[in-house]
Amino acid sequence: MALLAASGASAAPWEIRGAAPEVAIDISTIGPSLRYPGTTGVWVTHSPSLSVECSPPRGCYAKTQRIYYVFNCAPRYAMPVERLSTDINGSIIKQETRTGAEPYSADADVGAFVILETYCPVRGWRDRR
């Protein structure tokens, strides 16, 4: 199967929607991002209970996705910059790189939430003793 590279407005949304248990951080990949100086990068695996639509091409459905996030704790943010979609056999069927022009909402992204809560927890009034 051919590896596809895509970017642009016609790509699938970048936000991981669903439940946090569907998201796993690959802790062996965390480290300074070489692509974005001053940030930390980490790969996340998204394994939804149903397949994920990864069009184009038409009819592209992925069993899992590995998504590379960059994040920072001060200021507190996380955003996906690369996504690898794999089929049921684990073969990469699509590779995408996010452009700055593509819409993205961190508030709707479970992947960003899991990363920030793991590495940059907010200490609220309940944590003060």
pLDDT one-digit tens code per residue, 37-53: 999 999 999 887 777 77
For residue 81, the domain's CATH number is 2.40.128
How many structural domains does the chain have?
A: 1
Cα 40–Cα 11–Cα 67 angle in degrees, nearest 5: 25
pLDDT tens per residue, range 55-87: 666 667 778 889 999 999 999 999 999 999 888
Would 104 be classed as within a structural domain? yes
> Does any domain span residue 38?
yes
